[in-house]
Amino acid sequence: MTDFLATGTLPDHYQQLAKTVRDFAQSVVAPVSAKHDEEHSFPYEVVAGMADMGLFGLPFPEEYGGMGGDYFALCLALEELGKVDQSVAITLEAGVSLGAMPIYRFGNEKQKQEWLPLLASGKALGAFGLTEPGGGSDAGATKTTARLDDGHWVINGSKQFITNSGTDITKLVTVTAVTGGGASKKEISSILVPVPTPGFTAEPAYNKVGWNASDTHPLSFDDVRVPEENLLGERGRGYANFLRILDEGRIAIAALSVGAAQGCVDESVKYAKEREAFGRPIGANQAIAFKIARMEARAHTARTAYYDAAAMMLAGKPFKKAAAVAKMVASEAAMDNARDATQIFGGYGFMNEYPVARHYRDSKILEIGEGTTEVQLMLIGRELGL
Ligand SMILES: Cc1cc2nc3c(=O)[nH]c(=O)nc-3n(C[C@H](O)[C@H](O)[C@H](O)COP(=O)(O)OP(=O)(O)OC[C@H]3O[C@@H](n4cnc5c(N)ncnc54)[C@H](O)[C@@H]3O)c2cc1C
């Protein structure tokens, strides 16, 4: 899998997958992106199309209803979708990498059999509830509690900004909760909460700056009772396990970001050749050509960074630093390219129906979600022994 880093050429099956998703993004996603963005509506028909293609099962073995691929395959799909529609891409990213992956990594056989075929089919979505109103970067400051009562966990508290948590096909939210320990050393565990369960509420959706077609809600838990066996992974390992999920997730977000960065390049190249000012295409001006060349360099560098992190992960090597580097570099590339593309489009770049305007609004969250840029810098610094 890692050979392509040396040769610069992806093996055939990866190229084929990327092309299939690229075609789908162009023919099925692009025509409805502006509408869903404007209406803030969840793209159920697009999600059903991705489900039919098996994208929600990409990195899972066939025995659990997956496609038998790997995490890099998921990243390639996210890059292609991210070029066209970040809301659609994050719906897939969160569904697979945050919704289903914790069960694949940490679930027991019964939990895997119960949940993975359903989530891998894409007919149902799972969500990942870590962030709370009190803080996301300091996720260990969890206040949500779960206590054992007569063979059940009783969960109380709230979560904030949770992706895919309130759609018509959301069937599961995995949450972190304090299950014991003292004030100085909390015991945090993760627990599977099927949707619906009495006492669980997905509050009204947020009115966001971007990712308008992605589903995001605050969640409240009021004496939510789930069976004791819904504990996911070892008791007290919930926080550590979620951090591992986030390390992987950063590579996926980096891939999505590279897609956004590249989408801005592609749109800008086209526009710079077509749009004329002072009697010639604006791209004939070196100032514009240099701007686009720099955008291309950012996208290329960020892609190399996420390929590198994915290769390390799949080779079983430590990849925390590489994932943090990729996430930071790629999300900044997306934001910088979105700003430059908007400038190249002039006044049209400020019109919501133009893809670059959507990228401009959508890209900011890439520097915030699944660990802010500052959190990536903290992780990189720590890995350097600082
Ligand atoms: C659209 C959207 C979707 C999301 N989806 C999910 C989801 O599915 N599941 C989930 O659990 N969460 C989700 N999140 C939450 C997201 O991961 C958090 O918003 C993010 O981790 C930041 O947490 P915060 O918002 O609490 O900011 P804070 O942690 O309060 O940080 C505020 C600012 O302070 C900075 N900061 C904090 N600590 C330090 C420090 N020590 N040094 C320097 N700077 C620091 C941060 O970098 C940031 O700039 C989502 C958020 C959004 C907006």
- Verify whether ligand 1 is closer than 6 Å to residue 246 (CB atom): no
Q: Which atom of ligand 1 is nearest to the CA of 94?
A: 8
**Res 336 pLDDT > 80:** yes
Q: Which atom of ligand 1 is closest in space to residue 138's alpha carbon?
A: 29
Average model confidence (pLDDT) across the chain: 96
Residue 266 C-alpha from the chain's centroid: 22
Degrees to nearest 5, angle at CA 48 with 46 and 52? 115
Is the beta carbon of 130 within 6 A of some atom in ligand 1?
yes
Q: Has 370 been annotated as catalytic?
A: yes
- Ligand 1 centre from 136 Cα, in Å? 4
CB of 98 shorter than 6 A to ligand 1? yes
Nearest to 99 by CA among 39, 167, 52: 167
Q: Ligand 1 in contact with 222 (CB < 6 A)?
A: no
Record the tokens describing residue 112, joined without a space: 């895997």
Q: 59, 116 in Cβ contact below 8 A?
A: no
Mutate-to-test residue for ligand 1 from 138, 208, 365, 372, highest number of ligand atoms within 8 A of CB: 372
Residue of minimum CA distance from atom 14 in ligand 1: 161
Tokens of 384: 């350097």
Q: Say how far apart CA 65 and CA 73 lie, in whole Å.
A: 16
The finding on whether 318 has its CB within 6 A of some atom of ligand 1 is no
Structure confidence at residue 182 (pLDDT): 80
CA of 209 to the centre of ligand 1 (A): 15
The pLDDT score that the predictor gives to residue 166 is 98
Residue 20 burial (C-beta neighbours within 10 Å; 0-12, 13-18, 19+): middle
Find the Cα–Cα–Cα–Cα dihedral 237, 238, 244, 247, rounded to 10°: -150
Question: What percent of the chain shows pLDDT beyond 90?
Answer: 95
pLDDT digits (tens, 9 = 90+) for 187-235: 999 999 999 999 999 999 999 999 999 999 999 999 999 999 999 999 9
Say if ligand 1 is within 6 A of residue 368 CB.
yes
pLDDT classification of 365: cutoffs 50, 70, 90: very high
Q: Quick one: 383 exposed, middle or buried, by C-beta within 10 A (0-12, 13-18, 19+)?
A: middle
User: Using an 8 Å Cβ cutoff, are 116 and 97 in contact?
Assistant: no
Tell me, in angstroms, the distance from the centre of ligand 1 to residue 219's CA.
Answer: 16
For residues 82 and 65, the answer to whether their CB atoms sit within 8 Å is no
Q: 369: Cβ below 6 Å to ligand 1?
A: yes
Find the 370 Cα to ligand 1 centroid distance in Å: 7
Residue 313 clears pLDDT 80, i.e. is over it:
yes
Ligand 1 pocket test target in 368, 379, 382, 386 with most atoms within 8 Å of CB: 368
Per-residue confidence at 5, pLDDT binned at 50, 70, 90? low
> Which amino acid is it at 152?
H
- For the record, the structure tokens of 30 come out as 């692009």
Per-residue H/E/C for the chain: CCHHHHHCCCCHHHHHHHHHHHHHHHHHHHHHHHHHHHHCCCCHHHHHHHHHCCHHHCCCCHHHCCCCCCHHHHHHHHHHHHHHCHHHHHHHHHHHHHHHHHHHHHCCHHHHHHHHHHHHHCCCEEEEECCECCECCCHHHCCCEEEEECCEEEEEEEEEEEECCCCCCEEEEEEEEEEEECCCCEEEEEEEEECCCCCEEECCCCCCCCCCCCCEEEEEEEEEEEEHHHEECCCCCHHHHHHHHHHHHHHHHHHHHHHHHHHHHHHHHHHHHHCEECCEEHHHCHHHHHHHHHHHHHHHHHHHHHHHHHHHHHCCCCCHHHHHHHHHHHHHHHHHHHHHHHHHCHHHHHCCCCHHHHHHHHHHHHHCCCCCHHHHHHHHHHHCCC
Work out the pLDDT band at 135, boundaries 50, 70, 90. confident
How high is the pLDDT of residue 1?
57
Bridge pairing between strands 200-202 and 170-181: unpaired
Q: According to the model, what pLDDT value does residue 205 have?
A: 98
- Cα of 45 vs centre of ligand 1, distance in Å, is 30
* Ligand 1 and 158: CB distance under 6 A: no
136 lines ligand 1 (CB under 6 A): yes
Domains of the chain plus CATH, in order, are 10-119 (1.10.540.10), 125-234 (2.40.110.10), 238-382 (1.20.140.10)
The three-state (H, E, C) secondary structure of 261-319, written as one string:
HHHHHHHHHHHHHHCEECCEEHHHCHHHHHHHHHHHHHHHHHHHHHHHHHHHHHCCCCC
Q: Could you tell me the distance, in angstroms and rounded to a whole number, from the CA of residue 135 to the centre of ligand 1?
A: 7
Phi first, then psi, for residue 121 (nearest 5°) are: -75, -20
Is 131 touching ligand 1 by the criterion CB < 6 Å?
yes
> Is residue 218 a contact partner of residue 159, using CB atoms and an 8 Å limit?
yes
What is the distance between the alpha carbons of residues 288 and 273, in angstroms, rounded to a whole number?
Answer: 10
Average pLDDT over residues 85-90: 98
Name the amino acid, one letter, at 41: S
pLDDT in tens, 96-121: 999 999 999 999 999 999 999 999 99
Catalytic residue, chosen from 93, 296, 367, 370, is 370
- In this predicted structure, which of 51-55, 236-240, 286-290 has the lowest mean pLDDT? 236-240
